[in-house]
Structure 1
Amino acid sequence: MGIDFVYRLVCWLAFYIQLALFLQCVLLASAVGIVVSPLLRLVRRQSAVNWVGAQAMRVLTEHVLGITVEIEGAENLARANDRACVIVANHQSMLDIVWLAWVFPRRAVIVANMFIRRLPVLGWFMRLGGNLFVKQGDKQSISMLFESSLHYLEHERTSIVMFPEGQRNPSESGTLLDFKKGAFFLAYCTRAPIIPVAVQCTHPLFSWPLLRFRRNCVVRVRVLLPVSTDTLTEEDIPTLIADTRRDIRKACNRLSVAARPSPAST
């Protein structure tokens, strides 16, 4: 009984220490973005605020937490540096902040939940970076998000990063929720290419109920081939959604299998 209590206490302490370090990385990276924002505004590079913050997060999580990201198909992200794209990915946990820091294009904004806008430091940074916020189920908020996204894609040459599941999905098996239509309808309206991004199931790396937060781990990401929307019709959107979800799911499954330790190494 005593050994079990000590073990649980050690697990609890290890989890919350790692979580505290992670949150410090988020705050420091956000602070870097806030500090450089006035300078970037002066040189008319305000859109680079997010990228600078992402690079700070990348360095911090790699050196403080030992979390690195392996990216397959990184060359497919080059499209987002040439023209505005709609980047869609599965959404699992707080570790999404880490892999996003590695793949974030130089000119991009992310769609986030409205409550993040009100957070100190992180919310300030995201507002300065021009990121977009939406309140789930609020028609006015969704309409404003669509109008702002259209402006970024058509007039600012800025890509949009969206999670079509619509919410975090901390599945133990990596299954995906149904994809919502918004990102795909936006791509149809602007003829912006869609870049699907698949992330391995991160449940073995992070789980709040299990008090699990791995140090010195690798998150595996695959950037799939861009999908052209030049000839897309509105009637094609449901098929596009289903095909994109299928492709991301298959890639997620392959990444998760590759991430499992072999029997010889256990």
Structure 2
Amino acid sequence: MSFLDPFSHALAAVLAAAHDGLTDLGADPAAGGTWLLCVAAVVVTLRLALLPAVVHGVRQAHAAARARPHLQDLASRLGDRPDADSLRRHLAERRRVSAEHGVSRLGCLPVLLQLPVWLALYHLLTDVASGTAVGAMGPGLVSSLGAASVLGVSLAGSGYLGGGPVHLAVVTGLALTAATLSYVTQRWVVASNTLTEGLPEALVSAQRMMPALSALGLVVAGGVVPVTLLAYWVCNSAWTLGQSAVVTRWFATPGTAAAARWS
């Protein structure tokens, strides 16, 4: 029994329900296209459920941007070698300024709470593709997914090599699509809506490298994960790009390049 099991079983129920719904609408229950639509349905359901956390994150980014000049002023007045009393007053003043501007003391906790969900989905798709029943995804549905294919490429298959040229083309295409969407999102959308002024140069440099490293990671991982998971990555990356574009265009963080562009 794993602490991820409740999440995996809930997601398995969504995947099974999507399959039942599409089948009731006349879709071929064994077709690869049907299962790809089921994966897309899981992505949509999950991302809609996580929208409150996204809204919280946007509000916190705005609150932190409003508080930033005041906190920087406090830091400059503290000096290089504060005594204990000065440090206590400084911390009390930081808490006051943060509360005044609505900066949550929970910080990134809502984001961290999403990690079990993403891990559970990863394990669910991996287990189901390998033939392991999970919750509502019983042996019959697991067998159906394992036998499904797109362009002759099994959704349970993995790796770049060993399956012929069509398999290589499909896997490479999915991996490159997911990597490209991720790179575009981070390099041109998220970066323009991120405050970097005042950050250490090392941290700024690391942020600049993240889009390329993330895309490279997806390409490398594409050679070991099942095609089903690659399809999920493509759908999820497309949602992330659209969501980030909406946030950047209409809810840009004050002080960022995106805010200056769309103000």
TM-score between both structures, scaled by the size of structure 2:
0.30
- Whichever of the two has the greater Rg, that structure is 2
Structure (1/2) with the larger strand percentage: 1
More helix by share: 2
Q: TM-score, normalization: structure 1? A: 0.30
